[in-house]
Amino acid sequence: MLKPRNKPYTNTLALIKKKAMPEFNLIKLEGKPLEKLIEVISNGIGTLYKPRSIRKEADANAYQIEIIEKAKTKALSEGKEIEAETYLRIKERLLFREIEKQNNIDSVSETAAEQLAQEDNISEEPVDKDWSKRFFNIVEDISDEEMQGLWGRILAGEIKDPKSYSLRTLELLKNLSKNEAETFMKFATLAFVTRNDAFLLNFSNENLLKNTYNLKFNERLLLEELGLIAANDLQYRIGKTMNNSAQTYFTNGNMIVQLIKPPNQPEQQLQVLVFTKIGKELLKLLNKSANLDYIKLFASKLRKPDYSLKYGIILKKFKDGTVNHTHFIEIPKN
């Protein structure tokens, strides 16, 4: 009789059961956002996806398990107990791995469902099937809860507005460690976004900025190496000389800054670090409250006599980059 040397098969199943995630109770199969989520997941994993609340167990690779079981039975009938034990361990490992993958997919999908449940309208444009397959081939191996949350927000963002996240962004994020992701998020919270650009103030010669927000030069080099921030120092130009006044808008977190330059003023130049295309895509994942002290620091770099610098709280963002916001308030001086 086969006697496994380590934990018996029943113990492996118990461990799998213990590790199972909570019920996928946030998904209700109603409403276009969640219907589209189910469609995208099904395209990505190659079979009709059912939320955990209506699926009793993960769908392991039944064919492989059947072949392994037959090989184990044959080995036992021939008295080859060690060989049969090997087949049993292969079966245990396969079951365990498949359920781990399914739990990872479910966790990411649950986060996406939470995000989409708050959406009234989403794009009618379908998510590219190749994108879906690539996405779920990646997330089946993501087990860290915080990173699963990040991937869940990407899935929700792509469903809401297809082509928001490129395949290159998925590949970069796949290889991003948790520490690297946290470093990016630290810099990203300081990003000012315009219609076409995203940047943060260059902190190289700004001790206040460096010390207050704990920015380090080696972290900047890391983000450059990862392709999230442009490698060269750049100058952001604001408002060319013109006869009429110029208005420029910047967003940071949940705040929008309005700069109005009076007529006949030369353009201004800010020393900035610019986010790359992939960096700008990942900025969409942020959902934070802005820091008024940082807004004041930014305004101090722009403020000149007769300039108007005001801020408002963003109420809603739209696909075209416009926002609804509260009435503008003058930015106080430091």
Alpha carbon distance 144, 163 (integer Å):
25
- Give the three-state DSSP class for 67: helix
Q: Are 103 and 58 in contact (CB under 8 A)?
A: yes
- Give the three-state DSSP class for 272: strand
Per-residue pLDDT of the chain (334 residues; tens, 9 = 90+): 333 334 433 344 344 344 443 344 444 445 677 778 888 888 787 665 654 433 333 344 554 555 556 655 665 666 666 665 665 666 566 666 777 888 899 899 989 988 888 777 788 899 999 999 999 999 999 989 988 999 999 999 999 999 999 999 999 999 998 899 999 999 999 999 988 889 998 887 777 778 888 889 999 999 999 999 998 877 787 766 555 667 889 999 999 999 988 877 777 788 899 999 999 999 988 877 888 888 998 998 888 888 889 999 998 887 777 889 999 999 987 6
- Give the pTM: 0.72
Q: Would you list the DSSP string of 198-257?
A: EEEE--TT-HHHHHHHT--HHHHHHHHHHTSB-SS-EEEEE--S-SS-EEEEEEETTEEE
Domain ranges of the chain: 9-174, 178-330
Residue 86, number of CB atoms within 10 A of its CB: 15
State the greatest distance between any 2 C-alpha atoms of the chain, in Å, as a whole number: 95
Cα distances from 247 to residues 232, 238, 263, in angstroms, run 27, 9, 11
